[in-house]
Chain A
Amino acid sequence: MPAYLLGRLGSALLVVLGAATIVFLAMRAIPGDPAVVMLGVSATPEQVAALRADWGLDAPLPVQYLNFLTRMVVLDFGQSIRLGMPAMQAVSQTLPYTIYLALVAFALALLVGFPLGVFSALQRGKAADKLISLFSLAGQSLPSFWVGIMLVLLLSRTLHILPSGGAGSPEAVLLPAVTLALPLLSVIVRLVRSGLLESMGEPYIQTARAKGLGETRVVGVHGVRNMLIPVVTVVGLELGTLLGGAVIVETVFAWPGLGRLLIDSIAARDYAVVQASVVMLVLFFVSINIVVDLLYGVLDPRVRVDG
């Protein structure tokens, strides 16, 4: 177990390092200069050079890279040009919004997806099952930015029920959360449905039935417990995707999270913040993957994580 965990951590570190390198190089390869972006149309070469020197961007690339990596170890990503604060502060101001949004979406997906999946399995082959299947397929494949726009059009512009964007009021989280939840919700519905159907055919379910247990208990206790493993795995992995999807959803709904910060910072060529947010996102992503792996072992003793 410790050996496995070490290996797992090692590869996670590799992912983070890879991501950091990619983002570092990408930002410098993108056309456009942070000093020019800040100075605008009237920028003179002297002004640009002075600013670049102030920010240490005139140093050779390897020096900048090493500097970036060594400071990254203590989560210091330098100063944000655009915001005039440490990049990490900008990230920590927006990250809670993204996590909050992701958690609400996650909760929504679980609370709606799970019962819907069970219901769908129980109604197997009937009209309701087919309808739910179609819905979950749609939820999985529709582009979230369009779903978001349509939700705004319907619920906000036409019915005036919910605010169309921002985080100005508590209910503002609902539209982005629903949009973000939809793909995950659909995956859960399908997994729960197929997992339940599969386990219903297993011998021990027949045994439970034969023992005279009520159908609710059979399904509720034995069936559900058995299909938790694939659900947890996929759901865990999807939580990371959820964070990635937040980039688009936050743009549509002007949600002040990390995704928006990232997009805005790329536009401003705010190197420090782009690097900080990507590294933090990836760090989050790999942590979830590790937790999911461990959880997997706990849920199913047959899985030997060192195997």
Chain B
Amino acid sequence: MADLSATTTLASGRALPLGIVLPAIVVGFYVLAAVIGPILLGFDPVATSLADRLKPPMTALANGSLSLLGTDAVGRDLLAQMLAGARISLAVGAATLVLASLIGVALGVVAGYWGGAVDTVVMRIADIQLGFPSILLAVLVAAVIGPSLTNVILVLAVTRWVVFARVARAQTLTIKSRTFVDASRTLGATDAHIIINCILPALVAPILVVATVQFGLVIVAEASLSFLGLGLPVGIPTWGGTISAGRSYLANAWWISTMPGIALSILVICVGILGDTLRDRLDPNLVTR
């Protein structure tokens, strides 16, 4: 089982260090908040309340409820908006990584396993893309295909697949030359068999680590796109969008930009610690950037 082998590698040896446990708890908390938060404190983009607009944190609102983190420019509760935003950000991050890793692994394995012209073409495309500032690519693609949830995931996946492809290719090259692979080939195993049974399982752990490191980057990239007005459409709350909207109100409502930024920062820092620790434990030489 692929999943099992990854877990055993991670859990091998001593008890898990603080560098994994602590950030994992925080990330888990975010996931929990994203899943059940919006159920407890629903966000309705249409429920504006002009009398409650731009109220600072800990203000009692017109309907008697307490706004913990304040309200935005049309009187919607910031916390509710951030919880809904957490759901979007995490979902976009996860979906992007699944898509990017699928593309990346497929191309990487093919390039690494068969080499030759396919390898050259794939890696040359990867090089060209790396030679192009990724935010620029995202801006151009996003402007072309327009704002929508799927499009944002597509744009981000397009800017991320290269990292996965490189790791997958490198790993494939290493495994391919191992003796047990030669052995199974001599025994008549097909390419498909070798890839599925020998190569893919060995990819799980490094790809997981890469995904962890990339997760923070993707979430920040999504927020940056929203900030530039190229992210998700209005009406879908995102952290980046809220930060951006609060920019005009820095003078009289600092909390709108500040609060979602803090939430975003804590998350990406924890994911970062997690990614670093995992990488150090698994393979210090893994290139993840």
- Chain A interfacial positions (CB closer than 8 Å to B): 11-12, 14-15, 18-19, 22-23, 26, 29-31, 134, 137-138, 140-146, 149-150, 152-153, 157, 240-241, 243-245, 247-248, 251, 262-263, 266, 278, 281-282, 285-286, 289
The CA of A146 and the CA of B224, in the complex, are separated in Å by 9
- Whether B133 and A285, one on each chain, are in contact in the complex, defined by CB atoms closer than 8 angstroms, is yes
| Bound Cα distance from A119 to B189, whole angstroms | 55
Q: Say what secondary structure dominates the interface of chain B.
A: helix
Q: Supply 8 A–B pairs (Cβ within 8 Å), ascending by A.
A: A15-B127, A23-B140, A26-B141, A138-B265, A143-B265, A150-B258, A150-B261, A281-B136
- Complexed CA–CA distance, A31 and B142 (Å): 11
B143 within 8 A of A: yes
> Shortest CB–CB separation between residue B175 and chain A, in angstroms?
25
One of A29, A145, A157, A251 near B144 (C-beta < 8 A): A29
Which of B136, B140, B243, B269 lies in contact with A141, CB distance below 8 A?
Answer: B269
Q: Is the CB of B140 within 8 A of A143?
A: no
Given A19-B128, A146-B257, A247-B139, 14 more contacts at CB 8 Å?
Answer: A11-B127, A18-B128, A26-B141, A141-B271, A142-B220, A142-B265, A143-B224, A143-B265, A145-B224, A145-B227, A145-B240, A153-B254, A282-B131, A286-B131
Report B81-119 residues with CB < 8 Å from chain A CB: none
Measured in the bound complex, the distance between the Cα atoms of B139 and A248 in whole Å is 11
- Shortest Cβ distance from residue A246 to the other chain B in the assembled complex, whole angstroms: 9
CB of B148 within 8 A of chain A? no
Which of A29, A137, A262 has the most chain B CB atoms closer than 10 A to its own CB?
A: A137
Check: B223 CB closer than 8 A to any chain A CB.
yes
Least distance between A135 CB and chain B CB atoms (Å): 10
Residues in B whose Cβ lies below 8 Å from that of A26 = 140-141, 143-144
CB distance from B108 to the nearest CB of A (A): 20
Which of A145, A146, A157, A241 neighbours the largest number of chain B CB atoms within 10 Å of its CB?
A146
Q: Is the CB of B140 within 8 A of A22?
A: yes
Interface residues in B232-247 by Cβ distance below 8 A to A read: 240, 243-244, 247
Interface string of B8-22 (1 = CB under 8 A from A): 000000000000000
B127 to chain A: which residues have CB within 8 Å? 11, 15
B131 touches A146 (CB 8 A): no
Do A285 and B135 touch (CB < 8 A)?
no
B12 smallest CB distance to A (angstroms): 23
Q: Closest B-chain residue to A146, C-beta based?
A: B261
Q: Is B1 an interface residue when CB atoms closer than 8 A count as contact?
A: no
Chain B window 22-61, contacts with chain A (Cβ cutoff 8 Å), 1 for yes, 0 for no = 0000000000000000000000000000000000000000
Across-interface contacts of A22 in B (CB, < 8 A): 132, 137, 140
Report the bound CA distance from A259 to B251 in whole Å.
Answer: 26
Give B112-169 interface residues, CB cut-off 8 Å to A.
124, 127-128, 131-137, 139-141, 143-144, 146
Closest chain A residue, CB of each to CB of B125: A18
Known: A146-B261, A278-B136, A281-B136. A14 touches B128 (CB 8 A): yes
Kindly state the separation between the CA atoms of A116 and B133 in the bound complex, as whole angstroms: 28
- Given the interface contacts A137-B269, A149-B243, A152-B250, does A244 sit within 8 Å of B133 by beta carbon? yes
- A interface footprint on B262-273 (CB within 8 Å = 1, 0 otherwise): 001100110111
Asked whether A15 lies within 8 Å of B264 as measured between CB atoms, the reply is no
A138 CA / B271 CA spacing, docked (Å): 11
- Bound-complex Cα distance A107 to B226 (A): 30
CB-based contact B133/A153 at 8 Å: no
The answer to whether B223 and A143 have CB atoms under 8 Å apart is: yes
Report chain B residues within 8 Å CB of A30.
Answer: 143-144
In the complex, what distance in Å separates the CA atom of A278 from the CA atom of B250? 32
